[in-house]
Structure 1
């Protein structure tokens, strides 16, 4: 990829002066045609069609633009952290930070959770997209400032892009693979050239990029974990850090973007705090005592039985179940195909048949979960029944590589027939794969080696989910060593693919695209730190992922995801687990929130602290 810049170095001060003087700077020639005059400058981009909100919108439709400012929200985080750099594979980043920045970092554009996939300008004050989607120009808002008061410029955009793609997590290389050239058009305008127009969502993905300070990046070793915050321009700055124990974010009083339409009514809370707890039970005790303000409850058992305590009985706690309209996350036991024990598809299918979701849901989960059937559940992107003509057209070129069931069998469903018939079927599959039971152990008849592997976990709470699977596999003569390690060791081992089987969750959006490369494709199978944990290397999967990325209509996207879903499910790379159809939320009644949540997500950034509510709660507790 080429980075095109001005011919001579320019200081940050001279960049600003040049912009104010409206200095004309010649653009660097590229392989594409000059910008046609008819390309309009727009305020946002949508994957299909146009953004729902007009250019002159005042605020997002669900927020309260008169929300009061101030107060504090304390949440619990699990494990620990040793880094404030969320953009690299090394270290464990603190809560509140993520691969696209988090609270301290503004991005070029911001996603609207009220629309399937639409981005509106944040740092970007103007966007010009080639009608053929071969290039995009972004104007940086000249008012934008980093937390040290310095302006955000096009140089910062280029420096961030270079740094993240060359030295950051592998996901950035996958996301931005088709960006071929960056051009510094002017001090506050940058141009992205794309390899082709096969990825319809690439301009929106580029818009998700957080922008870091070029000067700050030049002064640090970016690839090393650090407790020195990177320079950001977002609504919060890191205010206090106790490594592994607590991180505090404080709202920036003079935040440059406070009055932007995408920010009005949001980021109302003055302090956002994350306290770390090693054990879920201790975190729950902290919530009961009022040291933690809000919980997104992930435990069905705790949700059913854990909220009968004095403050809850007195009405000081609010509990809500918010319907989730996003695709269900793909939570599963993942088999590492780099290990010989999982090479045979029949073995993988047999292992999956031993997972008894119905028993778990009945005995552990109070019937609150639904079985996850595929990789795009709870959406029109999920495969159903037999492939239709459009799906079949995508699958047919790979008929010789794919399992025959992909074409002529309904999708695998195991619950209705019960555990015993499934174990019987698993035994038959293992015999077909060359195994037999000797002295109550499943043995490879060719090598004499037992069928055994390690199941790696990081949370002791997951043992209760894993142990029934271990017991059922033992009935087949399969030995599973269940091992729980601390989160930091777990992360290191996953990044190096040093595991046999583990648990993982991949959250899907309503518009999957470039990120699917890192999840499933051959390119990322051997790249340390990637999210292709299973090590999938399949030309058919690679091709279907490319079809998803290239889809130019919603119908084409749904067809491609259904085909990929079907192939992944019949390949049995993972043992799919379960998901909750609702978001379970519990919080002390000190918070106000909009009358409705956006259609495709929970927006805690639009909440606020009710004045005097904390004092009222404290008084009620003292009584």
Structure 2
């Protein structure tokens, strides 16, 4: 079929002459795709702007992971996965660290799709192979989709709900057709992001079971060794098929990647101090503020850095399990929320290093601020009968501000009034309902470090008459109980981004409330479901941001959790033998991606006698 090519900024658009194959559609053929059609890199780009093309290859990168593991297979609910096991598998197209929602060809060299994105064809690179040397074909892609649909993580079924058919139309061409009437804005990108598994390897194996044999992937790294529950090492594959691609220049620089698993964060930090691993992203403010004064830091062997993070910060919450009848009344959830004194916690335990989360997209253009705008009201008013009180008229809900010294008596009185109105009155010193049942609230956790943060809210709730307690379990048990929704409250983060879309159904959609999914709260709201579709259906970035702000406003009013805290930077400490591009790209720290091992820095430490 003869093609004519029209050059547009950062996008190669090819118009097909009439042909039966495409039913006379104008077909876009491009090296990349993004949510709203914005691509930074042209088809003939030579390397990504943020990498060092001369970065040396070699050395080891080592870091830590929390908890034990018993599987390298991350795509089912069986077992607890090892750190970074997904690194073994590549998708058809891959994201970059300097764009919020673009994908560029990897296994697939190009993508074809019509303007309405009702289908997508991926033209796969014939040279692409699995690590065992077998070619990657369109049949492998079809197999991957089918096996994930049948035996993969249940939440994937909602992701694939709008996929009509997936078929191989050639050895290296695979076509995805999407359901008529579906919103197709993100569906080609969803298809492009699928990992690709070897059909031949899985032919005689049960995909639904956990396993320490991950099978052949196609990525730059392969499995070197595994010590179940303790350690996993990946090694750079010299025979990787894709070293020649511009998308890979300056990347995947370490010879080995080693991950040490620890039962808890305290043990992991002690391991770092003892030299068991070399790179640590710190997630505990007290440790960052007080404990990085050990000899390796004092002598300059280990450096501390605070790197900016341009991503949307995780919306971390003490999350309610809305499947529990005791949490059905929003007044109960509001009263419990008032007992978390962030201001005291930030002063006494976080050393003033955090900000209070108010939004599910904190500090971003998607955060709802003040009363709803006219554009937001246009989306919200048709849902008026489904919305929590005040959404249409009041400023976006924000957590109560407490004294940094203690919760005031007036806050306790207001919380008590809300519980009284909800039918939980004080009887014999405890809050009870009309049947005499106590209001029991258990906070499920696995980290000893988090006990000091959760204890104060438990004590405040006890003062209020709530029968509150902490319940600490092993990581594996925590994972299983979270998966089966066997909890009252737990800490969880909503990982949202600057271009939200189909993943919102997993986090907040009613269809995922009662199945293993990211909707841990069990939220079921017709208004939320409708606004999710508005975000997904937005034709422009501006429309998407308006819809996201309206959604943020409603989610906050639903009080599905107690907002905790966030920071817009990465706290990092590492042995000073690593280097990275400067500046770093906005959306990825990239320590295992485009950092490298510096023999010069190692020698400098040796010359000083500290290595």
TM score, norm. by length of structure 1 = 0.91
* Alignment partner of 1:482 is 2:470: yes
**SS in structure 1 of the partner of residue 155 of structure 2:** helix
**SS in structure 1 of the partner of residue 190 of structure 2:** helix
* Alignment partner of 1:433 is 2:439: no
Match of 1:548 in 2: 535
Partner Cα distance (2:259, 2:178) in 1: 39
**SS in structure 2 of the partner of residue 490 of structure 1:** helix
The answer to whether the Cα contact below 8 Å between 2:91 and 2:107 also exists between their aligned partners in 1 is yes
The answer to whether the Cα contact below 8 Å between 2:140 and 2:196 also exists between their aligned partners in 1 is yes
Match of 1:20 in 2: none
The answer to whether the Cα contact below 8 Å between 2:120 and 2:175 also exists between their aligned partners in 1 is yes
Match of 1:586 in 2: 573
Partner Cα distance (2:393, 2:517) in 1: 33
**SS in structure 2 of the partner of residue 73 of structure 1:** strand
Given candidates 119, 133, 141, the residue that maps to 2:103 is: 119
Partner Cα distance (1:517, 1:262) in 2: 31
**SS in structure 2 of the partner of residue 203 of structure 1:** helix
The answer to whether the Cα contact below 8 Å between 1:44 and 1:127 also exists between their aligned partners in 2 is yes
Match of 1:13 in 2: none
CA RMSD of aligned residues (A): 1.6
Given candidates 510, 518, 525, the residue that maps to 2:513 is: 525
The answer to whether the Cα contact below 8 Å between 1:324 and 1:601 also exists between their aligned partners in 2 is yes
**SS in structure 2 of the partner of residue 408 of structure 1:** coil
Q: 1:621 deviation in Å? A: 5.1
Of 83-92 and 608-617, the range deviating more from structure 2: 608-617
* Alignment partner of 1:324 is 2:309: yes
Aligned length: 586
Given candidates 149, 155, 158, the residue that maps to 2:142 is: 158
Of 173-182 and 74-83, the range deviating more from structure 2: 173-182
Of 557-566 and 278-287, the range deviating more from structure 2: 278-287
Which consecutive residues of structure 1, in runs of 5 or more, have no partner in the other structure? 1-31
Match of 1:181 in 2: 165
The answer to whether the Cα contact below 8 Å between 1:357 and 1:415 also exists between their aligned partners in 2 is no
Given candidates 561, 576, 580, the residue that maps to 2:548 is: 561
Which consecutive residues of structure 2, in runs of 5 or more, have no partner in the other structure? 1-19
**SS in structure 2 of the partner of residue 191 of structure 1:** strand
Given candidates 117, 123, 128, the residue that maps to 1:144 is: 128
Partner Cα distance (1:621, 1:288) in 2: 18
Deviations 1:369-417 (A, max 9, x none): 0101011112111111111122112112221222221112222334445
**SS in structure 1 of the partner of residue 520 of structure 2:** coil
Q: 1:290 deviation in Å? A: 2.4
Partner Cα distance (1:191, 1:91) in 2: 33
Q: 1:463 deviation in Å? A: 0.8
Partner Cα distance (1:551, 1:214) in 2: 37
Partner Cα distance (1:225, 1:167) in 2: 12
Deviations 1:172-207 (A, max 9, x none): 222222111112111100011111452412211221
**SS in structure 2 of the partner of residue 244 of structure 1:** coil
Match of 2:53 in 1: 65
Match of 2:495 in 1: 507
The answer to whether the Cα contact below 8 Å between 1:391 and 1:559 also exists between their aligned partners in 2 is yes
The answer to whether the Cα contact below 8 Å between 1:316 and 1:589 also exists between their aligned partners in 2 is yes
Match of 2:357 in 1: 372
The answer to whether the Cα contact below 8 Å between 2:96 and 2:102 also exists between their aligned partners in 1 is yes
The answer to whether the Cα contact below 8 Å between 1:132 and 1:197 also exists between their aligned partners in 2 is no
Match of 1:307 in 2: 292
Partner Cα distance (2:154, 2:184) in 1: 19
**SS in structure 1 of the partner of residue 109 of structure 2:** strand
Deviations 1:110-147 (A, max 9, x none): 11120111000010111111111101110110010101
**SS in structure 1 of the partner of residue 188 of structure 2:** helix
Q: 1:37 deviation in Å? A: 6.9
Match of 1:401 in 2: 386
Match of 1:606 in 2: 594
Q: 1:288 deviation in Å? A: 2.1
* Alignment partner of 1:468 is 2:468: no
The answer to whether the Cα contact below 8 Å between 1:171 and 1:515 also exists between their aligned partners in 2 is no
Match of 2:119 in 1: 135
Query: CA separation of 1:93/1:119 partners in 2, compared to 1, >3 Å: closer, same or farther?
Result: same
* Alignment partner of 1:193 is 2:177: yes
Pairing of 1:274-285 with structure 2 (within 5 A)? 274-285=259-270
**SS in structure 1 of the partner of residue 449 of structure 2:** helix
Partner Cα distance (2:204, 2:604) in 1: 48
Query: CA separation of 1:451/1:261 partners in 2, compared to 1, >3 Å: closer, same or farther?
Result: same
Match of 1:6 in 2: none
TM score, norm. by length of structure 2 = 0.93
Query: CA separation of 1:150/1:119 partners in 2, compared to 1, >3 Å: closer, same or farther?
Result: same
Query: CA separation of 1:278/1:615 partners in 2, compared to 1, >3 Å: closer, same or farther?
Result: farther
Given candidates 57, 68, 84, the residue that maps to 1:96 is: 84
Match of 1:223 in 2: 208
Pairing of 1:184-263 with structure 2 (within 5 A)? 184-195=168-179, 196=181, 198-263=183-248
Of 300-309 and 415-424, the range deviating more from structure 2: 415-424
Given candidates 65, 74, 77, the residue that maps to 2:62 is: 74
Partner Cα distance (2:49, 2:270) in 1: 36
The answer to whether the Cα contact below 8 Å between 1:331 and 1:579 also exists between their aligned partners in 2 is yes
Partner Cα distance (1:609, 1:417) in 2: 47
Match of 2:281 in 1: 296
Q: 1:219 deviation in Å? A: 2.1
Partner Cα distance (1:330, 1:381) in 2: 13
